């Protein structure tokens, strides 16, 4: 439960409540340790809760995430702070850290809110919905998304005009504009970093026209269009709301690309693109889906079979990186590439293009540690001090790392990595006891 207690001690601080942070917190809590789970977003669940289905089993992502999320939020040993940020972390003795946690006001008393959505209806302010990756709008008084946890409204104060409309309609009077930023000094024995990853900003590659051509979207946006809780209830191209029938996936946008500063492979884009292609083939049986790739990296358990299955379903795979995209009249897009199998330059017209953007580190975590140095790897992911034998250990004793904070990985790997981080943290706590 959300808990506004200050100055308190916990066994473990888990930073980031995505699937890795959540798993690590659960493992720690299940073995009897008190865990503080902090996330800067308004809901736990990280990126995974936003996804449609997951490869290679095509389980619905929400079906896997939501029970974990509810287990986390109900666990007696776990305290969650959403909308909160970790500040300075200081090692004060061998087995003790202090951490400053800033809790931003939600302007809604979570415990009283029933998520009735009346405030949402009453609010006159429209803004782009960051939880739908800008595909649609939301209000300034809003419930982050339908399966968020805690399921409660929040006021986006930056966009709020303080008109008071929401306050008037709220049946439980849970809207409270007097809430202030709370800063807490907490004592913890161990820290698990599970800050996840960032997506490459496709605007940094102007030759693909993202942000300029309306029918060029990112895979994360497509993920929302495909999700069960999707905004349009069908697949639409944003330019004119037409149902697309010639869809292209551009792989390696911002990964394996030293010219944009990210030479490593993002490990998941091939698979999520293949997954989306399969889902699109299901949702739009008449549509052509083409995936433009350099190498297909279907390396995990069941991945290669999944790739072959997509081929069998009729997804086109074209070996060749897209060089440029230009927009035609009417919003269709012209993709220029070299078909490597033929050794020839080709142009192909598609009515919708999805950029499979890569994975970047979520920067800044190292700055929090004031009297110790959290080493980073050459790509600014959290460094692993003993990468092969103890992948969850960092350069600071008692600080462990889980999931994609150490580099790109898929969901099963993130969960295993979270298992490893919590295992190390549990051992650390038991050994200190």
- Which has the closest alpha carbon to 156: 180, 115, 127? 127
Residue 222, both tokens: 């497509």
From 118, 136, 157, 294, residue interacting with another protein (rule: CB under 8 A): 294
Which is nearer to another protein, 338 or 366 (by Cβ)? 338
Contact letters for another protein, residues 223-262 (x by CB under 8 A): ----xxx----------------------x---xxxxx--
Among 120, 339, 366, 372, binds another protein (CB under 8 A): 339
Question: Which of 319, 376, 385, 395 touches another protein by CB under 8 A?
Answer: 319
CA–CA distance, 249 with 79 (Å, rounded to integer): 41
User: Do the beta carbons of residue 318 and residue 289 sit within 8 Å?
Assistant: no
Distance CA 359, CA 304 (A): 21
Which helix or strand (DSSP H or E) is residue 428 part of? helix 411-432
Among 16, 196, 239, 407, binds another protein (CB under 8 A): 407
Residues of span 53-72 touching another protein by CB under 8 A: 54, 57-60, 62-64, 66-70
Q: Distance between CA atoms of 141 and 120, rounded to whole angstroms?
A: 5
What does 12-73 look like in DSSP terms, one character per residue?
EEEE--SHHHHHHHHHHHHTT--EEEE-SSSSSSTTGGG-SEETTTTEEHHHHHHHHHHHHH
Scan residues 151-180 and list those touching another protein (CB under 8 A).
151
| Single residue of 137, 211, 263, 314 touching another protein by CB under 8 A | 263
Does residue number 296 form part of the binding site for another protein (CB under 8 A)?
Answer: yes
Looking at residues 86 to 105 of the shown chain, list those that interact with another protein (rule: CB under 8 A): none
Toward another protein, which CB reaches closer, 51 or 165? 51
Residue from 50, 248, 399, 426 that binds another protein (CB under 8 A)?
426
The radius of gyration computed from the CA coordinates of the chain, to the nearest angstrom, equals 23
The closest of 195, 143, 147 to 51, measured between CA atoms, is: 147
Distance CA 188, CA 180 (A): 24
Q: Name which of 16 and 407 has its Cβ closer to another protein.
A: 407
Nearer to another protein, 199 or 420 (CB): 420
From the CB of 26, what's the least distance to another protein, in Å? 10
Kindly state the smallest distance separating residue 10's Cβ from another protein, in Å.
Answer: 19
Give the interface segment with another protein, choosing from 87-95, 164-172, 235-243, 422-430 (CB under 8 A). Answer: 422-430
Distance CA 335, CA 351 (A): 10
Check: CB of residue 136 under 8 Å from CB of residue 233: no
Measured CA to CA, the distance from residue 124 to residue 260 in angstroms comes to 40
Comparison of 15 and 64: residue with beta carbon closer to another protein? 64
Q: Is 345 in the site for another protein (CB under 8 A)?
A: yes
Q: Which two tokens stand for residue 55?
A: 């490869």
* Cβ closest to another protein, residue 122 vs residue 334: 334
Work out how close the CB of 158 gets to another protein at its nearest, in angstroms, rounded to a whole number.
27
Residue 56, preceding bond cis, omega within 30 degrees? yes
How far is the CA of 66 from the CAs of 30, 231, 289, 367, in angstroms?
18, 19, 30, 32
The count of C-alpha atoms lying within 13 angstroms of the C-alpha of 100, restricted to the half-sphere facing its C-beta, is: 12
Residue 284 touching another protein (CB under 8 A): no
Q: Interaction with another protein in 195-214: which residues (CB under 8 A)? A: 207
Q: Residue 385: in which H helix or E strand, if any? A: none
Which x/- pattern over 108-127 shows residues binding another protein (rule: CB under 8 A)?
-------x------------
- One residue of 321, 327, 380, 397 binding another protein per CB under 8 A: 321
Residue selected from 79, 190, 218, 298 as contacting another protein according to rule CB under 8 A? 298
List binders of another protein among 299-318 (CB under 8 A): 299-305, 308
Residue count at the site for another protein (CB under 8 A)?
Answer: 97
């Amino acid at each position: 439960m959300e808990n506004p207690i200050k100055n308190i001690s916990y066994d473990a601080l888990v930073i980031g409540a995505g699937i890795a942070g959540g798993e690590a917190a659960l493992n720690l809590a299940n073995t009897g340790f008190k865990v503080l789970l902090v996330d800067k977003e308004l809901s736990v669940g990280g990126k995974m809760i936003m996804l449609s289905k997951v490869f290679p089993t095509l389980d619905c992502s929400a079906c896997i995430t939501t029970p974990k999320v509810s287990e986390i939020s109900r666990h007696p040993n776990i305290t969650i702070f959403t909308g909160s940020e970790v500040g300075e972390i200081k090692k004060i003795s061998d087995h003790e850290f202090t951490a400053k946690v800033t809790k931003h006001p939600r302007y809604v008393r979570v415990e009283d809110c029933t998520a009735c959505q009346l405030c949402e209806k009453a609010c006159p302010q429209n803004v782009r919905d960051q939880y739908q990756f800008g595909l649609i709008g939301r209000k300034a008084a809003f419930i982050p998304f339908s399966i968020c946890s805690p399921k409660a409204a929040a006021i986006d104060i930056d966009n709020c005009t303080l008109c008071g409309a929401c306050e008037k309609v709220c049946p439980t009077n849970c809207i409270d504009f007097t809430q202030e930023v709370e800063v807490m000094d907490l004592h913890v024995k161990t820290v698990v970093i599970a800050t996840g990853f960032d997506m490459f900003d496709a605007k940094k590659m102007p030759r693909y026209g993202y942000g300029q051509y309306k029918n060029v979207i990112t895979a994360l946006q497509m993920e929302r269009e495909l999700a069960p809780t999707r905004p349009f209830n069908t697949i639409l191209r944003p330019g004119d709301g037409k149902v697309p029938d010639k869809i292209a996936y551009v792989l390696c946008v911002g990964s394996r690309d030293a010219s944009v500063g990210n030479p490593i492979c993002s490990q998941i884009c091939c698979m999520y693109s293949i997954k989306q292609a399969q889902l699109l083939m299901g949702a739009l049986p008449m549509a052509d889906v083409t995936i433009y790739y350099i190498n297909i990296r279907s390396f995990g358990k069941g991945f290669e079979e999944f790739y072959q299955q997509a081929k069998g379903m009729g997804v086109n795979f074209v070996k060749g990186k897209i060089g440029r995209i230009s927009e035609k009249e009417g919003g269709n897009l012209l993709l220029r590439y070299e078909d490597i199998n033929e050794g020839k330059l080709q142009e192909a017209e598609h009515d919708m293009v999805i950029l499979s953007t890569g994975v970047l580190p979520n920067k800044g975590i190292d700055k929090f540690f004031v009297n110790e140095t959290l080493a980073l790897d050459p790509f600014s992911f959290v460094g692993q001090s003993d990468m092969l034998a103890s992948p969850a250990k960092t350069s600071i004793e008692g600080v462990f790392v889980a999931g994609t904070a150490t580099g790109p990985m898929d969901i099963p790997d993130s969960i295993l990595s979270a298992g490893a981080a919590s295992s190390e943290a549990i051992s650390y706590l038991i050994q200190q006891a």
